[in-house]
Amino acid sequence: MAHKAYPQIIEPEHVYRGLNYLFGCHPYSNISFVSAVGTKSKKVAYGSNRADFSFIAGGIVPGVLILNPDFPENKEDWPFFWGENEYIIDIGASYIYLANAVNELLDKN
């Protein structure tokens, strides 16, 4: 939406980077925050079914937390860090919106 409103300020590259971040192109590691998407993705999470150590393909986790004094953390083996490893429904909706925005930009080119 920001690119559509201000294309001279928000370039398409910024939209692509948002999706790439979710797919594992971020400073902490190469783990995709979308389960079952990418070469290395989240496999241990706390799902909406509240099952311990669950896995839901397409589930999206918030990802990296910054802890004082500026240490990035993303524990892969313990699902109960809700800020890192809990599948969040509204992030799924945002992911679909972002993926469609990237698809629309790619169709223009």
- pLDDT tens, position by position, 11-41: 999 999 999 988 988 777 888 888 888 888 8
Per the structure, the complete domain to which residue 79 belongs is given by 12-108
Beta-carbon contacts of residue 76 (< 8 Å; ≥ 6 apart): 31, 42, 43, 44
Q: Of the candidates 69, 75, 70, 99, which has an alpha carbon nearest to the alpha carbon of residue 61?
A: 75
42 vs 3: which has the higher pLDDT: 3
At 45, is the secondary structure helix, strand, or coil? strand
In a domain, 77, yes or no: yes
Tokens (6 digits) for 36? 């079952």
pTM for the structure as a whole: 0.77
Burial of 35 (0-12, 13-18, 19+ CB in 10 A): buried
In a domain, 27, yes or no: yes
Number of structural domains found in the chain: 1
Helix, strand, coil shares of the chain, percent, nearest 5, are 35, 15, 50
pLDDT at position 44 = 80
